[in-house]
Structure 1
């Protein structure tokens, strides 16, 4: 987190606590309150599962090349150098996200990683001829999907605090960014630990003196992690992505409604379709939102309920 983000987060915390420094309890309460927003919950499901899968892959891929395929680490280095595709992929993804919904782009990216997972399993189990061609194709699919994965969450994220503002009437973008970074750090550490435990369970032999012969159980576990383990996490990410409804169209409706309310518009004047779209993004019943009832001259006090 940058100093500017930390300062903004501190200012938001002071505002939440009427100018008083927040306690640990209030900080945790604020953190968990972000998950009341449906779009953010879904976004974090996508983010956590997909990043978890990529850490599993990066932790074990060299082992896959050396022990499952019997190749040298230089082969792994060559394949990972294909990350050069990140430059055109990022540019194309930036253009695509203006043409199609984030949900469609998420599914496209994660599907490409799934194709690579099938490729890793096929190469390890079948040992086809022209193995380097298969590995290169698989890595290109993986890298393209990976850089869509890297690009999209942080480019979608700036719109999410506005969804929260509709519910709370507050700008809590710093808090949301802090939670997202925190979850990312947890997923990275947890994925490395899980990969380590799975390898230990399969009796993987660590050696400081170079590669050693591994038992079949360890080799099978390595193949499973880079194909099945990563694949399962990508399928989970696709599941969340299919329930991610933030798009240019829906965000336009919500932004228009938020602007109307901020300019003194009455909640009672909202049309049914606008209410439905807002509820789809927030996960909160529109009529239960407290903050904007002042525009209708109604007393505050209604509880926020989730769909």
Structure 2
């Protein structure tokens, strides 16, 4: 069994360096979800279907790459590179010189195959850096409040980068001209430079817990079994994470909150331009303002998550976002244009909800490896990070690709300055039904999620109780808590279950 990590103080530079890396994690996703469909269809001559195909192909490849990176990082500590640079942190260091691939995605005047290859390349580099990054909060601390602060720092930086993703096109449009495709290439260059700086800071100001014995044994088995056995072990390990009840519920909340935003982001710019008779600059300004509101909402959500139930905060946030979406649709039905001051009411409401929905799933994610540890007796942060990154990118791709295919089926014509009534109605239905439908799913799941500061404290005490050699619960109440979080009876915990065998 792994030993407890040595106590090492987490200071402000560690929080800031960790959080700053979400300029890549959230910033890249904000740019892609908000602008790539517009770039492909309005500036590169691709159809909405071709743009959607790029997302679909990239995610099929990522279905293998993301969990593989997580699995390898869990077992990389036995190698010389892993011992020298860190089993997680080596991948972060290696990704830094590859991050300029983001700018290549936005080079104008290329064809379908160029954009497909450049997008796939960046997604692989992104997975290589982000999956190890997502393990580091659990590696650096086991304390609930410290992990919540890590998540808060991460999401605040992520929201700051989203603000930049919203406003930067507007600033570049003003500098380069309304119809310049170079707007997006310069945006890509600026973000690529930020990605490299923040990844470097993350490497310098992070560390990993010591894991004696386990990684070396697993790596020897991996090498002895060959590539086929390694891939089989990888997916056994991957699917085993789904047998942890808290993680399944966490994924449901995560998907409800994030897919709703992906659909909204992919549709919003088109909706402003064609349904509300706005411009790309106005859409950029509205997105940027929404992200500012989200930044404030994250600060509020951090306090709520530390003091109360994350599930309750999630429910309030989802309701705010849904009301904002309905209000936006209502303005369109009333014929209110994007230039009206009334547009700011739904933007503020949606932003308040979206900010909290961004923070809460990542705050609860940092505790999933703790729930898994009481089930398996192992630390598998990399496996959970691989699943999270794969699910995040796969669902975002499905949402954005789905928007592209549905818009094309609804009559959208790439490059046209005006769209038909049918195409605009399709945008409105996507924005309303697509977004709110996903929010309702997340709300339903959140009512069953009971991880909180109080239940996490009980969980950690029971882990130490079992680590000391005990095999019965410290109290009946503690048994109920850990059984609810894990989904397993108490006598099946600490390796006495099929999950532990799959995880080896």
Q: Deviations over 1:80-108 (max 9, x none)?
A: 12122243322222222112111011111
Distance 1:187 1:68 in 2: 26
Gaps of 5+ in 1: 292-299
Distance 1:43 1:224 in 2: 28
Which stretch has the larger CA shift, 9-18 or 94-103? 9-18
Cross-structure match for 2:492: 288
Cross-structure match for 1:250: 455
Q: CA RMSD in A?
A: 2.6
Give the conservation status (yes or no) of the 8 Å contact 1:14–1:20: no
Q: What does 1:219-234 align with in structure 2 at a 5 Å threshold?
A: 219-234=424-439
Q: Deviations over 1:96-141 (max 9, x none)?
A: 2112111011111111110111112211112359973332111111
Residue 101 of structure 1 pairs with residue 309 of structure 2: yes
Which stretch has the larger CA shift, 125-134 or 250-259? 125-134
Distance 2:247 2:221 in 1: 27
Alpha-carbon offset, residue 5 of structure 1: 7.1
Give the conservation status (yes or no) of the 8 Å contact 1:288–1:303: no
Q: What does 1:65-104 align with in structure 2 at a 5 Å threshold?
A: 65-82=272-289, 83-104=291-312
Q: How many residues align?
A: 291
Q: What does 1:1-307 align with in structure 2 at a 5 Å threshold?
A: 8-11=73-76, 14=215, 17=218, 19-21=220-222, 23-82=230-289, 83-127=291-335, 132-207=340-415, 211-212=417-418, 214-267=419-472, 269-289=473-493, 291=495
Give the conservation status (yes or no) of the 8 Å contact 2:459–2:482: yes
Give the conservation status (yes or no) of the 8 Å contact 1:290–1:303: no
Cross-structure match for 1:296: none
Cross-structure match for 2:128: none
Q: Secondary structure at the match of 2:366?
A: helix
TM-score normalised by length of structure 2: 0.54
The structure with higher relative contact order (CA 8 Å, sep 6+) is 1
Classify 1:94/1:59 alpha carbon distance in 2 versus 1 (closer, same or farther; 3 Å): same
Give the conservation status (yes or no) of the 8 Å contact 1:63–1:222: yes
Q: Deviations over 1:166-200 (max 9, x none)?
A: 11000111211121111111111111111011111
Give the conservation status (yes or no) of the 8 Å contact 2:253–2:446: yes
Which stretch has the larger CA shift, 31-40 or 51-60? 51-60
Alpha-carbon offset, residue 246 of structure 1: 0.7
Give the conservation status (yes or no) of the 8 Å contact 2:307–2:453: no
